[in-house]
Structure 1
């Protein structure tokens, strides 16, 4: 049955429902600029965990869409978020991903800021006339702390992180996120693909038994997926049959019981993707976060780090190492997959593809993208300048 026939047979549905986004939106510069404004800037992005900025003066940064955002713990123990930009001439204030300071001092002209963002000092202040120091503090950024993780959002509006994750609070609560500590440091992995290809792949369940033999040996055919309005959930429980792979078999054998987790979570690997590009991988032995940060229409930076609860058992240390080995292979397999898709989308022969009814997360993602950017319904890119014309039309 052709696409028009399918639409006619199910006229109560959106005719695009059940079809992928068109290939051009995974490479088009103008679409990238539009989704930056409508999708990414209003989205929550994770910066760090509270344990990463435990002391007054400790700070972490996030580079996102040309903005440098700093979260810092004040002398009053309050955590705040600002743009990492001096209010004098626009210079970046701090360099690097983390640090600790009594004051934030711009390296250009030495304007200094208190840890609460207020302007503290201006060399040669008399030369600026009636400069109101209270009006030139660091520009604040919306921030939310959810279960110990610090999130920021460039454009306010929409649900909070807590509201987004509300359907799963009871499932997540036993993992004691608030007590986590970093294992290692943040890593950045560039990928020459559109960010949506990374996000699509993360929530895709159909490729698991085909492209990830290791996960299939661990989970059998028991990998599940579901989509809520703001969150995708994926999961797989370790089966009892020993894997033929040494790292997987030893992980199955050595993973110890975790007293604070319920029985059904002892051998469960759990994944969440928060709209649109933040993911949490939750294991009995550790918790990872991952972000798919857009750089250009065909470049993405994958940002990730692992967190753990204090546990000195040798079996737990071994399990965490084996988890890393297993997932290093999974990441390599996924990197190859998304590169193949990005390359294939350059072909003029491909526009949209049908989505199985089992691909609930991808269907949900496509629906939301089309609602925010209606041009994503078009099989071919519109004439250049379409976003400006659409903006004028909406303003009338």
Structure 2
């Protein structure tokens, strides 16, 4: 098993320790990290092909906000808070749809696809109304290789492309831009802190212990490395037929992908993008996963699957085998992280030593400590600590 760290944060005096347990249960810390970590981070919403025509929209909800991403008459993709400027009514409901205009269902205020307020019943009844200044409140949008991201606050952090820059060359052949959704957005709530989901995703040491299927598929080829903003995990499918039916079918029937280099034909790639998103990349499809914080001890997993258009029966069967394999992996991971979460709440646990090979966990912990210095404390400080310190700029 290989492990490599590249472009890690500058030396962290606490590098040999994991993040302490109280960070996974404490309400005050949760509120601080939502402001300093999640609110200014990019969050994936959809693929550009999900909103191909003017008026097509998709939504995402997190941190108590609803954001709508919509394509305008000019073809541009914009994002807005899904909130009417009159009485705060939500303008659209559901995960997606199409609207020629955004009309508030409460008092029929009308907004154009570019967010401008264009219609107000009884307009003269509002002496303070400035139509030009009362458009929908915009949300920052970023687009990377066909995917659409938003963020609620700008702390000067990098774009998605800048974050993925170390891996652009190896991602490019997969033609993300040409992919289309092959499964609807799926959400699942888990009784875990959001960090536990990400920690487990990048944890290399548990693979040979907890995932028999992945071990059968990869042998000893599983490798990890940490970049500044992206963790990379990978494994090559071995030639030895698996004893598991779904795994063996996948090994034997995975078709050649002409758009990929030969070295990638039997390669599984995993990229975790700071702080709470991941792309699972296979020759036959890609899966996207996002873990959105709900409370200090609950998270919402949001998942999507995409692939290049291909209706061949053998491809559909291989994708089904892929799904069966990863359904087992997901169940194993759920069992693990729920029990880790329970352990984090124990008064007996402070912080654990972290191995030199656990480069992804080290990278993530260093970035959290860099944004919230109190994360260095092995025990929770007295309540109210966040009010006594200014936020890290």
Partner of 1:258: 257
In 2, Cα distance between the equivalents of 1:205 and 1:14? Answer: 21
Aligned to 2:74: 76
C-alpha distance 35-130 of structure 1, shift in aligned 2 (>3 A): closer
Q: How far off its partner does 1:391 sit?
A: 2.3
Quickly say closer, same or farther: Cα 1:120–1:13, change in 2 above 3 A.
Answer: closer
Counterpart Cα distance in 1 of 2:131 and 2:36: 34
Number of the residue aligned with 2:220: 221
Give the aligned partner of residue 271 of structure 2: 272
Q: Deviations over 1:334-373 (max 9, x none)?
A: 0000001001112111111111111000000111111110
C-alpha separation between the residues in 2 aligned to 1:333 and 1:85? Answer: 39
1:75 match: secondary structure:
coil
Corresponding residue SS for 1:166? helix
Distance 1:21 1:159 in 2: 24
Q: Does the C-alpha gap of structure 1 residues 185 and 163 become closer, same or farther in structure 2, counting only changes over 3 Å?
A: same
2:32 equivalent to 1:34: yes
The 3 A distance-change label for structure 1 pair 13 and 51 is closer
Shift in Å, 1:130: 5.8
Aligned equivalents of 1:203, 1:13: Cα separation in 2: 20
- 1:386 is aligned to 385
Aligned twin of 1:7: none
After TM superposition, the score normalised by the length of structure 1 is: 0.95
C-alpha displacement at 1:13, in angstroms?
Answer: 5.6
For 1:111, the equivalent position in structure 2 comes to 109
Residue 14 (structure 1) shift: 3.8
Once the two structures are superposed, the pairs formed by residues 237-386 of structure 1 within 5 Å of their partners are 237-386=236-385
Offset of residue 131 of structure 1? 2.6
Q: CA–CA distance in 1 between the matches of 2:11 and 2:192?
A: 31
Between the aligned partners of 1:27 and 1:225, the Cα distance in structure 2 is 28
CA contact (8 A) 2:70 2:113 kept: yes
Name the SS for the 2:390 alignment partner. Answer: helix
- The answer to whether the 8 A contact 2:12-2:366 is kept is no
d(CA) in 2 for partners of 1:351 and 1:42? 28
Q: Which among 41, 50, 59 is matched to residue 52 of structure 1?
A: 50
Q: CA deviation at 1:68?
A: 0.4
> CA offset at residue 288 of structure 1?
1.1
User: In structure 1, what is the Cα distance between the partners aligned to 2:12 and 2:131?
Assistant: 55
- Give a deviation string over 1:47-69, Cα, whole Å, max 9, x none: 00001001111000000111101
Q: 1:121 to 1:217 in 2, by over 3 A?
A: same
Provide the rounded CA distance (Å) in 2 between the counterparts of 1:348 and 1:56: 55
Larger relative CO (CA 8 A, sep 6+): 1 or 2? Answer: 2
Q: How many angstroms does 1:20 deviate by?
A: 0.3
1:25 aligns with 2:3: no
1:29-178 matched pairs, under 5 angstroms: 29-129=27-127, 131-156=129-154, 157-178=156-177
1:221: how far off? 1.2
Measure the CA separation in 2 of the matches of 1:131 and 1:376. Answer: 46
- Aligned residue in 2 for 1:8: none
> Does the CA contact (< 8 Å) of 2:221 and 2:236 recur in 1?
yes
Deviates more, 1:131-140 or 1:20-29: 131-140
Q: 1:236, 1:91 → 2: CA distance?
A: 48
- Say which SS state the counterpart of residue 391 (structure 1) adopts: coil
Deviations 1:293-352 (A, max 9, x none): 000000000000100111122211111010000000000000000001001112111111
TM-score normalised according to structure 2 size: 0.96
Whole-Å Cα distance in 1 between the matches of residues 102 and 258 of structure 2? 43
Q: RMSD across aligned C-alpha pairs, in angstroms?
A: 1.3
Q: In the superposition, relative to structure 1, how do residues 310 and 14 fare at CA in structure 2: closer, same or farther (>3 Å)?
A: closer
Per-residue deviation at 1:189? 0.7
The offset of 1:76, in angstroms, is: 1.2
Secondary structure of 1:303's aligned partner: strand
